[in-house]
Amino acid sequence: MVYLYLMTEEKKELRKRMRTLQEQFLTDKESVGKETERLWTALEKEEAFATAGTILLYMSIPGEVATGEFIRKWYPNKRIAIPLVVGDSLILKEYNPDLLHEGYKGILEPSDDSVTILPENIDLAVVPGIAFTQSGKRLGRGGGFYDRLIPALHCPVFGICYPFRIVKDLPTEPWDRLLTKVIS
């Protein structure tokens, strides 16, 4: 039990450090815009993206790689799934700009009326996080939503983040799954 407590404290400290780095990074809007464009361009060059018909993305919040323009660019050509928080789970719904509302913690979510997409029908998942390693470890915000979703996916799962979110190593739990790739 002591080990789990220490890991929790370590994660708490890392999340705090990442908030400080995020505040510093977000002050330079021009750099944020350039980095965002660079990261999405890198994703577009991936074979997994080129061959994917249905892609799971997220509705970004400040500090995450902004998804709004990218989703609007690709939803006419690819089926885009975005998460809806229901209890302690994520339900995947088809993106429809007319069926979005403010949901969990103020994040845009699809309405209940949006078409549900089963996890096994996702061809590529792109997930956010607080910190990542190049080897595919991911630290989330602490709710465990993606930790519960990722094992149900049968596709490549990519993390995408600004370079300041890459760390040498992260504490892991038995249920953590390595991501296929991290784009930073």
Give the domain ranges of the chain: 2-183
Over residues 114-126, the mean pLDDT reads: 98
pLDDT at 3 (0 to 100): 34
pLDDT at 28 (0 to 100): 92
> Around 79, how many Cα atoms within 13 Å sit in the side-chain half-sphere?
15
At 4, the pLDDT band (50, 70, 90 cuts) reads very low
pLDDT at 10 (0 to 100): 84
Asked: is 2-183 a CATH 3.40.50.150 domain? The reply is: no
Radius of gyration (Cα) for the chain, nearest Å? 16
pLDDT at 5 over 60: no
pTM of full prediction above 0.75 = yes
Element containing residue 54 per DSSP (H, E)? strand 54-56
| More confident of the two residues 99 and 1 | 99
